[in-house]
Amino acid sequence: MLKRISRYLLVALAILGIVTCFIGCKGQAIADVAPLPATERLRVATTTSLYDTGLWGYLEPMFEKKYSVELDVLYTGSGIAFEYGKRGDVDVITIHAKAQELQFVADGYGTERIPFAYNYFLIVGPESDPAGIKGMTPEGAFKKLAEMASAPFISRGDGSGTHIKEQGIWKAAGYDYEVVSKSGAWYVEKGGGMGATLQMANEKQAYTLTDMGTFTAYKSKLNLVPLVDKGSILLNVYSVIPVNPDKVPSAKINSKMAANMVDFLISPEIQELIGKYGVKEYGLQLFTPCAGAEPQS
């Protein structure tokens, strides 16, 4: 009996020794391993049209590989993107609302505004064109829609660059946007991205204003056609703006990597890729590169 107890005691002590050694060795191993370096990050706020067309998804891995950085890309309307920049929530913005961009820089929130690509806006609608706006000027088309007040129009209604452009066309047509937006059931504010707005317009067989890139990317899913595609007011320029670290000193803006983003977007290699993007799949150019130069309408 005593031998059996002694044997059990020896086994127990052996097991205890193994466990103690394991814990000690494991602790030592953990202590000896250096912590992994933190991955450098760049926070980008961008318009939904660059997301809906797939352009950012195309460029993002190239930038990450070239600069060994993790991109955090936030897709949102231009108005919210500007707010992110003002608060220092992002390091750089890529946007398409020229007047607001210039003000953002003038107010000191952005260091500079650099155009990198452009396309055009379109007024699209059902092929039957119940309002009869085909071939009209953008201002004339909007005026006719407002006078009829029956053919449905879907607005982004989200403070985006497209929504800002829409308001500009209403103003050019001689209308107060606030009055138009409350003028009846024909006018609907979606309050969402371009892709979702196009889908809603398709469901309601309504008119809407869209950038040509997103429309082209979604065209196969829609029963909408371009009805108005000419007019200087339809020019749609995309710019990149680094956030000014001096304006938001507590935000720890990654200025060096934001500058790399500017260099990347206007580099000859990436400009060529932007110009070719979508051509093979859709049969036309979604974006025209402009490498820092302001395009003329």
Domain boundary among the residues 210, 234, 258 is at 234
- Mean per-residue pLDDT for 240-244? 98
241 forms beta bridges with 93
- Tell whether 11 is covered by a domain: no
Do 126 and 206 belong to one domain?
yes
Query: 175 pLDDT exceeds 90?
Result: yes
Same domain membership, residue 67 and residue 142: no
Average pLDDT for 186-208: 95
pLDDT at 3: 36
Domain count across the chain = 2
Tokens coding 31: 């202590």
11, pLDDT greater than 50: no
- Considering only 1-5, 43-47, 211-215, 226-230, which range has the smallest mean pLDDT? 1-5
The predicted pLDDT at position 222 comes to: 96
Residue 4 Cα distances to 7, 14, 216, angstroms: 5, 15, 84
Range of the domain at 66: 41-118+235-289
Instruction: Report the CATH number that the domain containing residue 49 is assigned in CATH.
Output: 3.40.190.10
Q: Where are the alpha helices (DSSP H) in the chain?
A: 2-32, 48-52, 55-67, 78-87, 98-106, 138-148, 161-172, 177-180, 194-204, 212-218, 255-266, 268-276, 279-282
DSSP per residue over 231-279, as a string?
-GGGEEEEEEEEB-TTTSGGG---HHHHHHHHHHHHSHHHHHHHHHTTH
Domain assignment present for residue 142? The answer is yes
Q: Is residue 134 part of a domain?
A: yes
Please compute the mean of the pLDDT values over residues 233-241 and round it to a whole number.
97
Band (297; pLDDT cuts 50, 70, 90): low
| Residue at 4 is within a domain | no
Given a cut of 80, whether residue 9 has pLDDT beyond it is no
Structure tokens given for 125: 């609608």
Q: What is the pLDDT of residue 192?
A: 85
Tell whether 253 and 216 lie within a shared domain.
no
With cut-offs at 50, 70 and 90, classify the pLDDT of residue 35: very low
β-bridge mates for residue 74, sequence order:
45
Helix, coil or strand: residue 205: coil
Long-range own/partner contacts, residues 103-112 (CB < 8 A, 24 or more apart) = 104/241, 105/241, 108/244, 108/246, 108/247, 109/82, 109/85, 109/243, 109/244, 109/247, 109/248, 110/85, 110/241, 110/242, 110/243, 110/244, 111/241, 111/242, 111/243, 111/244, 112/241, 112/242
Confidence band of 38 (pLDDT split at 50, 70, 90): low
pLDDT greater than 70 at residue 119: yes
Verify that 182 and 218 share a domain, yes or no.
Answer: yes
Question: How high does pLDDT run on average in the chain?
Answer: 88
* % of the chain beyond a pLDDT of 70: 87
Q: Is the pLDDT of residue 1 over 90?
A: no
